[in-house]
Amino acid sequence: MNKTQRNIVVLGGNGSLGRAIVNRLLEQQKATRIWSVDREHSLIPQDPSVTFITADLRVPGELALLRNQLPPTLSGLVNTIGGESNPSVEAIKDTGWPPEAVWADIFDLNVGLPYRLVRELETCLEDGASICHVSSIAATMPWVISPAYGAAKAALEHWSRSLAVQLAPRGIRVNMVRPGFVWSRQWAAVDRAEFDNVVADRVLLSQFDGGTATTKEQLPADVAQTIAYLMSSDARHVTGQALDIDGGASLVRAAR
């Protein structure tokens, strides 16, 4: 492979965050070609630098098929997949005590799938490659509205740190970002009013536009900017880290 060629896979590339990551990696020339993988077909106009792959990687055999569609050498892997199945695999009567099937499903989506993905693609990753997993501020605080989700993201972070040690001899860096509250298709499946409610319960980080103080809703591009940094040589000494990109959401949160 040409040493200047950087092939990066973005899992969940059709979501709002995934699209922002793809755009930022290309705009900043952190990637020369991107393979955007999602279970939903892309409606985005074709970009010659992006290959769209439709695949549900939780279906047996799909991971092996994905590998056959990727280049033999990869410079990076970004995983945005997470959240919860919608609808749930089983009705939830008490969010504090979800059915075992729901608990197992959330863990598989947030921890099991990333594990299987990296295991499948590890030999494709070139020395000096970079991996970034999207975690959540739920990994670091009580999250009684979905304890399985918070526990699963905490498990993802623990495994990612172990993976960083495991892959360090090859110069492969493994990092994570913890977004705060970003409007997404996961939230759209819940409720905008609930989203606005939880966003209000945070430190109001003033920002300045033209000298005027304002408090802005966090956008996918805000998270994508940090991911682009972690995927680049600018972060060559950063590995095994989880960065809060949350606009102050984790500073004073109630135990929701």
What is residue 233's predicted lDDT score, i.e. its pLDDT? 94
d(CA 77, CA 97): 34
Full DSSP string of the chain = --TT--EEEEETTTSHHHHHHHHHHHHTTS-SEEEEEESSPP-SPP-TTEEEEE--TTSTTHHHHHHHHS-S-EEEEEE---S--SS-SS--S-TTS--HHHHHHHHIIIIIHHHHHHHHHGGGEEEEEEEEEE--GGGGS--TTSHHHHHHHHHHHHHHHHHHHHHGGGT-EEEEEEE-----HHHHTT-HHHHHHHHHSS----EEETTEEE-PPP-HHHHHHHHHHHTSGGGTT--S-EEEESTTTTTS----
Q: Judge whether residue 251 has pLDDT over 80.
A: no
Domain 7-245: state its class.
alpha beta
149 a catalytic residue? yes
What is residue 204's predicted lDDT score, i.e. its pLDDT? 67
What is residue 192's predicted lDDT score, i.e. its pLDDT? 64
Q: Which pLDDT band holds residue 56 (cuts at 50, 70, 90)? A: very high
Contacts 24+ apart (CB under 8 A), 210-217: 216/247, 217/183
Q: Judge whether residue 1 has pLDDT over 50.
A: no
Q: Judge whether residue 2 has pLDDT over 50.
A: no
What is residue 88's predicted lDDT score, i.e. its pLDDT? 86
Catalytic residue, chosen from 149, 181, 195, 229, is: 149
Q: Judge whether residue 254 has pLDDT over 60.
A: no
Report the alpha-carbon angle 181-184-185, nearest 5: 145
What is residue 215's predicted lDDT score, i.e. its pLDDT? 59
Tokens of 185: 């298709």
What is residue 143's predicted lDDT score, i.e. its pLDDT? 81
d(CA 149, CA 187): 14
Nearest Cα to 179, choosing from 226, 214, 215?
A: 226
- Are residues 186 and 14 in contact, defined by beta-carbon separation less than 8 angstroms? no
Domain residue extents for the chain:
7-245
d(CA 25, CA 130): 13
What is residue 5's predicted lDDT score, i.e. its pLDDT? 84
Cis ω before 87 (30° cut-off from 0): yes
Q: Judge whether residue 187 has pLDDT over 90.
A: no
Q: Judge whether residue 65 has pLDDT over 90.
A: yes
The widest CA-to-CA distance across the chain, in whole angstroms, is 55
pLDDT digit string (tens) for 69-102? 999 999 999 999 998 888 888 988 988 899 999 9
State the Rg of the chain over Cα.
Answer: 18
What is residue 222's predicted lDDT score, i.e. its pLDDT? 87
Report the alpha-carbon angle 48-132-100, nearest 5: 115
pLDDT digit string (tens) for 142-159? 888 889 999 999 999 999
Mean pLDDT over each residue of the chain, to the nearest integer = 87
Q: Is the pTM of this model over 0.75?
A: yes
Alpha-carbon dihedral of residues 63, 68, 127, 231, nearest 10 degrees? -60
Q: Judge whether residue 46 has pLDDT over 80.
A: no
At how many degrees (to 10) do helices 220-230 and 16-27 cross? 50
User: Alpha carbon 241 to chain centroid distance?
Assistant: 14
